[in-house]
Structure 1
Amino acid sequence: MFIETPKALVLKSKEDTFNFLNELSNFRQLMPDNIDKFEVLNENRFLFALKGMPEIVLEKKEQTQFNKLVLGAASDKLPFTLTADILEVNNEKSEVTLSFTGEFNAMMAMMIKKPITNFINTLATNLEKI
């Protein structure tokens, strides 16, 4: 399953946007209003839970300085990645596209597609407000 957000315009340079996303505690600011729990576990992992949903631990999987950050599920039960691709617009603006990639059976994919789409769209919308 692949889900991608429209580009989010961020009023920060590409470097500042990357540094913001690379500091995992900043993801708290991007989370939806129905966040139930958020905890940074270490510099490479954080845990979050939305109301009525199980806890998810995300960890840094890959990064290309100032261009890309890939977070992935720390558990192999639900393998997925959340990727932020950062493009420079000018010295004071950047665009971020968030994409979700996961391997799920058809039934699971059908159940989670809408909530995941809403979740990453909220992250992108909130990213425009930083």
Structure 2
Amino acid sequence: MHIEVPKKKLAKSDKEVFDFLTDIKNFEVLMPDNIDKFEVLDEKTFKFALKGMPEIVLRLKEQFPNEKVILGAASDKLPFTLTGDITALGENESEIGLSFEGQFNAMMAMMIKNPITNFMETLSNNMDKIGQ
């Protein structure tokens, strides 16, 4: 299953966006309003729960300076990745595109597609909070 949300232009450099996304604790700022729990487990891992949803543990899997940040599920039970592709548009302007990739059966994919899409759109919209 592949989900992409529209790219978001930011009044921040690609380095500022990359530095923000590779500091795990910053993800709390990007979370939706209906967050029930957010906990940093270590420098590369955090867990969160949204109301009515199970806890999800995300780990920083890969990073390519100022270009890409890849988070993945810490558990192999539901393997997926959340990728942020960063593009420099100028000295103090960049664009970020979020994508989700996961291996799910058809029933599971049908159940989670809308919540995942809404979650990613919220993360993207909240990118404006970087550096505030």
TM-score (norm 2): 0.97
The one-letter code of the counterpart of 1:56 is I
Q: Look up the match of 1:114.
A: 114
Deviation (angstroms), 1:11: 1.2
Q: Look up the match of 2:69.
A: 69
Q: Does residue 1:85 correspond to 2:85, yes or no?
A: yes
Superimposed CA distance per residue, residues 23-76 of structure 1 (whole angstroms, 9 cap, x where no aligned partner)? 011100100000000011111100000001111000011110110000000001
SS in 1 for 2:77: coil
Structure 2 contact 68–86 (Cα < 8 Å) conserved? yes
Give unpaired runs (5+ residues) of structure 2.
none
Q: Percent of pairs identical after alignment?
A: 63
User: How far apart in 2 are the matches of 1:5 and 1:23?
Assistant: 22
Q: Look up the match of 1:11.
A: 11
Deviation (angstroms), 1:82: 0.1
Deviation (angstroms), 1:127: 0.5
Deviation (angstroms), 1:111: 0.4
User: How far apart in 2 are the matches of 1:128 and 1:115?
Assistant: 21
Give unpaired runs (5+ residues) of structure 1.
none
Structure 1 contact 10–129 (Cα < 8 Å) conserved? no
SS in 1 for 2:75: coil
Q: Look up the match of 1:101.
A: 101
Q: Look up the match of 2:60.
A: 60
Q: Look up the match of 1:24.
A: 24
User: How far apart in 1 are the matches of 2:54 and 2:111?
Assistant: 14
Structure 2 contact 29–129 (Cα < 8 Å) conserved? no
Moved over 3 A (4+): none
The one-letter code of the counterpart of 2:41 is L
The one-letter code of the counterpart of 2:68 is K
Aligned residues: 130
Deviation (angstroms), 1:10: 1.4
